[in-house]
Amino acid sequence: MTTRWKRLGLGLLAGAAAMCAVGAEAATVVYHGFTLIDGSGTAPKADQAMVVDDAVITWVGPAKQVPRTPGAARVDLKRKYLMPGIVDLHIHIGTVRDLVQKEGYFTPDSVRKDLRTYAAFGVTTVQSMGTDKDSIIAIRDTGRNGPQTMARLLTAGQGLVFKGGYGGVPGINHPVATPAEAAAEVDAQAKKGVDYIKLWMDDELGAMPKMPYSISKAIIDAGHRNGKRVLAHVFYLADAKELVAQGIDGFMHSVRDKPVDAELIAAMKARGVWQGAATLSREAAVYAFAADNPRTRDPFFRQAADPATIAGLESPEREKTIATSRIYPALPRIDEQARDNIMLLAKSGVKYGFGTDAGPPGRLPGYSEHWELEQLVKAGFTPAEAIHTATARSAEWLGTNDRGLIAPGRLADFVVLNADPTRDILNSRRIAAVYIGGSKVPSVR
């Protein structure tokens, strides 16, 4: 046991599990020979090595200079590429089975199943955005900073939904009708130990009542009184401006009705508000399956989905339901606006992270993150910038300084790839292995 191990508060049993997973008795493992994409956005470095001591990276550098580590296990990663695990700041979890989302599907087992899927796809930390039952807290806290075979988790518990309005999952969230009710619900969430407070401000393109500003203000104030950052589902530019003025900490979707303007950008920068997630894969996925889509025949896609989910996505009836929906004609333009806006924000120096809104029907855990990387490149980011966003940038939002980079002192959460993702972002899918806290994650299917 290293002192670092003890500082992380990990038990002996968790340590033993990590050692078994790498097939050696040694608590120290040297990975060597790989090309490093360290998450910082700098150019890949060939022929590197990394020393992992229990759950934590203790050394990274040229393979020729690796320090003497008597008794360490060695893992040869020649011709491989190594990058930090993906940090997804916007997911939902545990409530979907065969393209149906239901309160009743949420169980500790369904949550763990999704967390294992995220992990197998190289997604090593996820922020669940407001549709969780209370059992999420104990799952989050199990082996929190140590070796894992599931993605690490943060949760917004039950996010705040306006009564009769948009957002949440019926039976899980507790809709509020007044500022006083909203403040009381925020207090209740904080008492449960959630990491963040989430609110939904949207009207489904005019179909539903939108949360009044008096309620969002009460939520933000109550969140801050409880020492919690408050994150918003937002759609309209005008609402984004009002929420920034009210003290919101981050947005969990792009503004999608209009281009972000100088006023919003200046206000976000002045107040340090994050564009926490652009959810570009969400904007693509909501209309991608309105007609036959070759994605459903992609083996990588099929690894992420149950056969019934694939059959559902390929069914002509479901395609027709999407293609004839009221909002369908507006969706391609919304998708394009989301892509344009994340580029505008990124270029203007607003802080931004990586998030997919994976989890609801048709937005597959694990696959969505690789689709998001693809969409970021489509929006105009280089593959290296997209990876930087999905790793170090998103980890910075967490404020824990313990992941998102391949660097000494960081958790050994990393992905080994068979091809260079900075040459072609689709190579992020060529996963050879995933490690969380130095523990190798089983593949799902």
Pull the structure tokens for residue 368. 């969505």
Residue 111 near residue 152, CB atoms below 8 Å: no
Between residues 8 and 304, which has the closer beta carbon with respect to Zn ion? 304
Give the residue from 49, 78, 91 showing the smallest Cα distance to 66: 49
- In the complex with Zn ion, which residue's Cβ is closer, 90 or 429? 90
Tell me the window of 64-72, 150-158, 351-359, 389-397 that interacts with Zn ion (CB under 5 A).
351-359
What ranges make up the beta strands (E) of 238-277? 250-251, 274-275
- Asked if 249 touches Zn ion (CB under 5 A), the answer is no
Q: Counting runs of H as helices and runs of E as strands, what totals does the chain give?
A: 16, 17
- Shortest distance in whole angstroms from residue 232 CB to Zn ion: 11
Query: Considering the complex, what minimum distance in angstroms separates the CB of residue 27 from Zn ion?
Result: 39
Q: Which is nearer to Zn ion, 38 or 335 (CB)?
A: 335
32 bridge partner residues: 49, 76
In this structure, the strands spanning 73-76 and 96-97 are: unpaired
Q: Which residue has the tokens 């360490």?
A: 72
Q: Rounded CA gap, 274 and 7, in Å? A: 30
283 is an interface residue for Zn ion by CB under 5 A: no
Interior angle at CA 48, CA 19 and CA 35, nearest 5:
100
Give the interface segment with Zn ion, choosing from 133-141, 172-180, 356-364, 410-418 (CB under 5 A): 356-364
CB-wise, 53 or 357, nearer to Zn ion?
A: 357
DSSP result, 151-212: -EEEE--B-B-BTTSS-S-TTTS--B-SHHHHHHHHHHHHHHT-SEEEEE---TTTTSPPPP
CB of 357 to Zn ion, least distance (A): 4
| Residue with token string 């990394």 | 50
Instruction: Give min distance, CB of 285 to Zn ion, in A.
Output: 12
Residue 192: is it exposed, middle or buried by C-beta count within 10 angstroms (0-12/13-18/19+)? middle
Residue whose CB is less far from Zn ion, 57 or 277 = 277
Kindly tell me which of 31 and 166 has the beta carbon lying closer to Zn ion: 166
d(CA 227, CA 221): 10
Q: Which stretch binds Zn ion (CB under 5 A): 24-32, 132-140, 238-246, 352-360?
A: 352-360
Closest distance of CB 218 from Zn ion, Å: 21
Chain residue at closest Cβ approach to Zn ion: 357
Q: Is 63 exposed, middle or buried (0-12, 13-18, 19+ CB in 10 A)?
A: middle
| Binding to Zn ion, residues 114-143 (CB under 5 A) | 129
Residue 357 touching Zn ion (CB under 5 A): yes
Does 202 help bind Zn ion (rule: CB under 5 A)?
no
Residue 92 C-beta: closest distance to Zn ion, Å:
6
Q: Is 338 in the site for Zn ion (CB under 5 A)?
A: no
**Nearest Cα to 179, choosing from 207, 231, 214?**
214
Residue closer to Zn ion, measured from CB, 60 or 129: 129
Residue nearer to Zn ion on the CB measure, 90 or 370:
90
Q: How far is the CB of 358 from Zn ion (least distance, A)?
A: 9
286 binds Zn ion (CB under 5 A): no
Query: Least CB distance from residue 253 to Zn ion, whole Å?
Result: 7
Residue 129 or 411: the one with the smaller Cβ distance to Zn ion is 129
The site for Zn ion, by CB under 5 A, has a size of: 2
* Closest approach of Zn ion to the CB of residue 195, in Å: 15
DSSP assignments along 430-443, one per residue:
-EEEEEETTEEPPP
CB of 361 to Zn ion, least distance (A): 13
Handedness of CA 408, 142, 274, 44 (dihedral sign): positive
| Nearest residue (CB) to Zn ion, 15 versus 250 | 250
Q: Which residues bind Zn ion (CB under 5 A)?
A: 129, 357
